[in-house]
Chain A
Amino acid sequence: MRTFKWGAAALALGLMQISAPAHAEGGKTLETVKARGVLNCTGHDGSYLGFAEVDDKGNWKGMDIDLCKAVATAVFGDPAKLKIVPISWAQRWPSLQSGDVDIVIKASGGTLSRDTELGLQFSMSYYLGTTKVMAHKELNIASLKDADGGSVCIPAGTTQEQQIAAYAQKIGIKLEPVVIEKTEELEQAYFSGRCDLYTQWGPVLAIARSAKGKVEDHVILPDVIAVEPEVMIVRQGDDNWVDIANWTLSALLFAEQEGITSQNVDEIKAKPTSPQVAKFLGATPGMGKGLGLADDWAYNVIKKVGNYAEIFDRDLGKDSPYKMDRDLTNLWNNGGVLFPLVID
C-alpha cells in the first residue's frame, strides 16, 4: 500500500513538474481567493488528533483548522468563509499545486526538498514538533541516560527510527529497538509492557498518554531527540500570500504577547495601550493596506478566532483532552521559541 501511495505521488509530482507553469498564478492567490469568496484549506482524510478532527456534529476543529480559520478571517473578516478540503498526506503537494487548496496547514515540517524541489514556500513556524520519549513511571527513569539497555517502541519507516539511534549513540547508551508499523499496535505494545520506552512525535505521544486515562502512570522524558518546525505552506512565487500567512501568525502571537484576547479586544481597541497596539487593532490606519487586507483584519482574527494561547489551550492544551504543555511552542518571554514580527 505505502509504495503504491508514494509511487502515485511521485507520478503526480513528475507530471506536475512538466505542466506546472500553465497553472502558476503569479502573485494572484489573494485575488483568486477573494473572487471565489471562500478560502480552501487542508483538512484530513479521517482525523489527526488535536490538529484536525471532527466533532459530534461533523464540524472540523483542531489546531490546524483554527489556523485555517485565522487566515480566512484575515482575508474576509469571517471565519465561516472557509472550505476545509479533506486531504491525505500523499495528496498535500499535488493539491496545492493544482489549486485545489490555497494553503497547506497540516502538521507539515519545512524541509529542504519541499522548499527547493517541490516549489513550495513556507511561513514562519507555528508549532515546534519535538520527538520525545515516554517511559513507564514505575521504572523510575528521569532522563534517557537512565534507560541504558531498555527496549524502545519505534514507529516503522519514520525519521524517528534514525533519530533515536543517533541520540542513544551520542549520549552513550544502548537501546533495544522494537519497530512496529501501525500506531494502534505500537501503543498496544508499549502500554502492555512489551517496551520500556516509546518514542514518537511529541503531540502523538502526549495524546497516547491521555487516551489511556492514566496520565500519571507514564512520564514523558525531558530529552528532546529532534525538532521539526511545522509551517504553513503555499505555492512558490506569491510573496503577498506568504506575507499574509506570516502576518496572520504574527498577529496571533503579538496579541498573546500584549495580553489581547477575544474577551478584551474591544476594550483595548477603544483604549489602546500603545500606538503599536492601536495600529494593530485598526484603531489607527496602516495595518492592512500593504497586505491588500482591511485595516481591522487583525482585530477580526483576535475577536473571532482568539490569540495564539487561546487557540493552543482550546485544541491541544489545558482546555483540550490532551493537556499538552506549551514546551518550546511558547513565546520567547515564556521559555519558548515563538515570536511576533515587529509592527512599526
Chain B
Amino acid sequence: MTVLAPPAPTLLEDLRRRYFATPLQAAVSLFSLAVIVFLAWKILNWALLSAVFTADGGPEACHAAAGACWSVIAARWRIILFGLYPFEEQWRSALACVAVVAMTVLSCIPACWTGRRIAAIWVAGTALFYILMKGGIFGLAYIGEEQWGGLALTLFIFVTTCLIGFPLSIGLALMRRSQLPWISRTTGIIIDGVRSLPLISILFTFAIVLPFALPQWLQGDKLYRVILGSALFFSAYQAEIVRGGMQGVPKGQEEASMALGLSYWQSISRILLPQAMRNALPATINQFVISFKETSLVVIIGFFEILASGNAAYGTGEWRFAYVEVYVFIALIYFVFVFSLSRYGAFLERRMAVGER
C-alpha cells in the first residue's frame, strides 16, 4: 500500500497559509509590506531616480538635485581607488590590483592546490604586484611605499598579512601542542599576550615605537613593519582557531598514524592538519573577513588605505557635502570582497564535507 502525498499547495494557498491565516496576521503582513515598499522606494529614489551621475554639472548640479550625488565618485574615483599614487602612473596600481585578485582567485581553485602550483602562483603574483607598484626597474618610475594608497594598499596589506600570518598560525598552534612544556608554555604566553593587546596599539608600536628600539638597518619601511605587526596579531587568533580544529580530531587518528609508522611530519601533514582545517574552516573564514575589515585601522598611522582615501575624496571645499555617497561606494567595494570571501567559504565547506556524506 502506498501513502499518497498531499497535493502540493499552489502559490496562492501557500501565501495565504503563511501570511494571511488570521486577520491579525494579515494586518501585520500588510503593514510590514507597506513599510518595506516605502523604504525600498525611498532608497531607489535617492540612489537612482533623483540622483546625479555625471561630473559635468559639478557640485552645483548636486545642490539642485534631491537624490544622491554620484558625481563625486565620477570626479574623485581615482583618489578612492589609488590614493596618492602619481596620476600618470595609476594604470600600474590598477594592474597590481588585478594581479592580487587574480592570484587570490587562482589559489582558490581546487586544481591549483598542489604545493608547487600554489607557491608559484603566490610568488609570481606578489612579485608582479611589488614590481608594478614600486617600479624602479623595466623602465617603470620608482614610487615609494608612502605614496601607495586606496584599494591597492588595502588589498596588499590584507593579502600579505594572511600570507605571513597563516603559516605562522599553524606553526604556533603546533608549538602550543608540543610535548615539551617550555615550548608549549612560552608559545601560550606569546599567543595570549598578543591577544590581550588591542590591534591598534600593536600597529602603533610597530610603526612608531620600533624605530627607537631597532638599529637603522633592521627597521625596513614603515609599511612592512605594520604588515608584520598585523600578521602577528592575525596569527595569534588564527593559531587558537587551528588548535581548536586539532582538538576536534579524535585522538585515535594520531595514535593510528603512529602505529602505522608515519613520521611526525607525515602524521601532521597527512592526518592531523587536513581534518583539523576542515573543523576550523568556518572560524577561519570569519577570521579572514575580520582581518580584511581591520585593514582600515592602519589609517591611524597615516596610511592612505581605502577609507582614508575616501575621506580625502570628499574632503575638499567642493565635494564636502557628499560624504554619504563616498561611504556607500566604499561599503559596496568592501561588500564585494567580503561577500565573495564568505561564499567561497561556503563552497569549501561543501567540498570538504565529502568524507562525511
Q: Is A178 an interface residue (CB 8 A)?
A: no
In the complex, what distance in Å separates the CA atom of A52 from the CA atom of B205? Answer: 26
- Are A56 and B79 interface neighbours, CB within 8 A? yes
- Are B63 and A55 interface neighbours, CB within 8 A? no
Other-chain residue from A23, A56, A99 in contact with B75 (beta carbon distance below 8 A): A56
Q: Is A108 an interface residue (CB 8 A)?
A: no
- Are B316 and A46 interface neighbours, CB within 8 A? no
Q: Is B212 an interface residue (CB 8 A)?
A: yes
Other-chain residue from A8, A47, A57 in contact with B200 (beta carbon distance below 8 A): A8
Other-chain residue from B200, B211, B213, B317 in contact with A5 (beta carbon distance below 8 A): B200
- Are B317 and A49 interface neighbours, CB within 8 A? yes
- Are B311 and A8 interface neighbours, CB within 8 A? no
- Are A86 and B205 interface neighbours, CB within 8 A? no
- Are A49 and B301 interface neighbours, CB within 8 A? no
Interface pairs (14), CB distance under 8 Å = A15-B213, A44-B312, A47-B311, A53-B312, A54-B84, A57-B78, A58-B87, A86-B146, A88-B302, A95-B302, A98-B212, A100-B208, A210-B317, A321-B316
Q: Mark A79-101, 1 if CB is under 8 A from B, else 0.
A: 00001011110110011001110
Shortest Cβ gap from A298 to chain B (Å): 30
Shortest Cβ gap from B114 to chain A (Å): 41
In the complex, what distance in Å separates the CA atom of A288 from the CA atom of B56? Answer: 48
Residues of B contacting A: mostly? helix
In the complex, what distance in Å separates the CA atom of A9 from the CA atom of B200? Answer: 10
Q: Categorize the interface residue count of chain B.
A: 35 or more
Given contacts A49-B320, A85-B146, A211-B321, contact A54 B315 (CB under 8 A): yes
Residues of B close to A57: CB separation below 8 A: 78, 87
Q: Categorize the interface residue count of chain A.
A: 35 or more
- Are A19 and B302 interface neighbours, CB within 8 A? no
Residues of A close to B321: CB separation below 8 A: 211-213
In the complex, what distance in Å separates the CA atom of A132 from the CA atom of B320? Answer: 21
- Are B211 and A98 interface neighbours, CB within 8 A? yes
Residues of A close to B303: CB separation below 8 A: 45, 86
Other-chain residue from B63, B85, B201, B301 in contact with A88 (beta carbon distance below 8 A): B301
Q: Is B86 an interface residue (CB 8 A)?
A: yes
Residues of chain B from 305 to 320 with CB closer than 8 A to chain A in the complex: 308-309, 311-318, 320
In the complex, what distance in Å separates the CA atom of A47 from the CA atom of B317? Answer: 11
- Are B317 and A85 interface neighbours, CB within 8 A? no
- Which of B299, B304, B312, B321 counts the most A-chain CB atoms under 10 A from its CB? B312
Q: Is B323 an interface residue (CB 8 A)?
A: yes
Instruction: Count A-B pairs with CB separation below 8 Å.
Output: 132
Shortest Cβ gap from A20 to chain B (Å): 8
- Are B312 and A94 interface neighbours, CB within 8 A? no
In the complex, what distance in Å separates the CA atom of A230 from the CA atom of B299? Answer: 24
Given contacts A46-B308, A184-B323, contact A91 B86 (CB under 8 A): no
Residues of chain A from 22 to 64 with CB closer than 8 A to chain B in the complex: 22-23, 43-50, 53-60
In the complex, what distance in Å separates the CA atom of A321 from the CA atom of B315? Answer: 12
6 further interface pairs, Cβ-Cβ under 8 Å (given A47-B312, A49-B316):
A4-B201, A5-B300, A16-B212, A46-B315, A57-B78, A60-B84
Q: Is A336 an interface residue (CB 8 A)?
A: no
- Are B317 and A320 interface neighbours, CB within 8 A? yes
Q: Is B177 an interface residue (CB 8 A)?
A: no
Q: Is B209 an interface residue (CB 8 A)?
A: yes
- Are A58 and B85 interface neighbours, CB within 8 A? yes
Q: Is B82 an interface residue (CB 8 A)?
A: yes
Shortest Cβ gap from B187 to chain A (Å): 25
Residues of B close to A60: CB separation below 8 A: 84
